[in-house]
Structure 1
Amino acid sequence: MTAPLDDFYAVIPAGGIGSRLWPLSRADAPKFLHDLTGSGHSLLRDTWDRLLPLAGPERIAVVTGRAHRAAVEEHLPDLADMNVFLESEPRESSAAIGLAAAILHRRNPDVIIGSFAADHVIRGERVFEWAVQQAVAVARAGYICTIGITPTEPSVGFGYIKRADDELAVEGAPEAALVERFVEKPDLATAKQYLEERTYLWNAGMFISRADVLLEELRRTKPALHAGLIELAEAWDDKELRGPAVDRIWPRLEKIAIDYSVAEPAADAGRLAVIPGHFDWDDVGDFASLAKLQNRGRPSDLAIIGAEARVLADASSGIVVSQTKRVISLIGVRDIVVVDTPDALLVTTSEHAQRVKGVVDALKLTGRGDVL
């Protein structure tokens, strides 16, 4: 068994609705609260269980929206009340992770934090733990560290991390390297080139750093955001001051992903390192990836999700997600995506699964928030 790391605090940002998984994922039932792997637990609970050996139950924090507090605490009964950090509204990952860093740094100036999304799927826990242990060693040396996933295919759905040629000499982290640059999602030809070069890793959005180092990077790049987070942290552990401070400060914090506010500037300055993750990882970003996850090794099969699903299929492949008792019959369709809920029906293909977000955007514009 892995022993918890004394100076390490795991942070789980649990926000967003997972719009590419609509209508399964909704504002009141976002992706991280669903069991998409057949484990019997939500993705959030799976994330908690994965981090437990590294941090212990008293040193795992969750950043989530006020509307999701009850559900999060139901899924994570051992989550300490003092480690629930509530957002009044979504403000992107810089604010969420920065808030956790500021609060935890105020409680313990020497703390190392690691941020791990609530809705990713990881297989190979021991390999994952080894990657995090290396990343913590790198963080102790004063770097911000990310864990990049070793690509298994030329994916166009992920951003990439380019490793520098020279390895980083840090005791306890034999695989550490500096990051040369981040790359946005490429086209297929470029993704194939990255796979062949073997110096590119998928960006999985995992960041490990001393809290003071991360906050200093935020102070350099986004001083107004940093100042707001520090002010919030100063009020956080006083229950009388916290609510008014959140209501006053949180809505005016800049919306920006931590990749742009911290990771990319740190990489440019030679302060960002990466550990290659050799474990299976998927962000379950759309129904195509969910179908691939469910049909692992059996691409010609039809995955069916739903305790009471009633599906008749003949020579068909893809995925059916059913939350009704309606009979769904498929004949001779390949790579189909059918999501049947009581108030909305989605039919598409794996090829067009990324375009589901456009449906969500259209529903917002037309005022159909009742199905979101």
Structure 2
Amino acid sequence: MSRLAGRYDEDDVRVRPNRRGSRPRSKDRPAHEEAVPGFVTAVDRGRWTVLVEAAGKGRNAQPERTVTAMRARELGRKGIVVGDHVGLVGDTSGSPDALARIVRVEPRRSVLRRTADDTDAVERVIVANADQMVIVSALANPEPRPRLIDRCLVAAYDADLDPLLVLTKADLVDPADFLANYAPLEVPYVVTSSDDDFSLGLDELRDRLTDRISVLVGHSGVGKSTLVNALVPGTDRATGDVNDVTGRGRHTSTSAVALPLANGGWVIDTPGVRSFGLAHVDPDRIIENFPDLSPGTANCPRGCTHDEEECALDAWVEGGHAGPAGPSRLASLRRLLASRTEGREEHRREER
């Protein structure tokens, strides 16, 4: 036995720790105080196009530039969409081979969402920080889809976006009858022609878009991309024809893109939609946009859907509290509420 054996016990043995995982991972993340602010204008297969404004003076001055960026690992799966204001680190020079990292997404002023259908709990963010939704619909070729328009209005009200209805191809069909359905909602509108230069209504539309961030929505074939090409010359957004058999347009825009307007503001072109799920929308958010009717819900029974016999809105309107337009306004409100629930009822019928 060694002469040292009696001098030490197991407490004196120093065990070498396992290096992997020996230090707890810090929950603190870098502040990235030096991050350069930018505005996301496009998303494509894991790469974001970000506009960085001019900054600095003298030798350190950097011009306005477009930067390609990836999402930093620390953001995890956090969604980044067109319209987001972000913080960038890395190579923000904007050179062809440069790649920056998005390390921060600033708080959003507004979020436009939709779900795949009215039973889907997963919300899909379309754009961030817009302040106006431009709902584009053709009056003919393809035929207008009032139900989709109603759903877009509901989504606009839920996101606190100002709605604007733009009707194209007014030289083919008189828009008066169609607009009469939306008069009680007091939705502003612009009527345009079907020619390539939009000789009718284009100047008025430009005025309504100036200094605002506007997102264009509508189903395929209604002329969204043609409008964008007229508003932002040189954009060359792809346009498509309407199928003579189905009456539907062909998808031409495959992703959202933000484009600057000459007089200030941005227009965001989005892919054509054929459905607009509203599973995420709270009915109270819709009613808030009817200030002449919302006080009348105070006496509604608990859980009132506002289309039942006990609904207090009928008495409110009959008492003249909503003004002479009350009956038509109430009918429009109930039409919008119905547009939210129709999809769910159809799904239940299919399950049976």
**Which protein, 1 or 2, shows the higher relative CO under an 8 Å CA cutoff with sep ≥ 6?**
1
TM-score for the superposition, normalised by structure 1: 0.26
TM-score, normalised on structure 2? 0.27
Which is strand-richer, 1 or 2? Answer: 1
Richer in helix (by share): 1
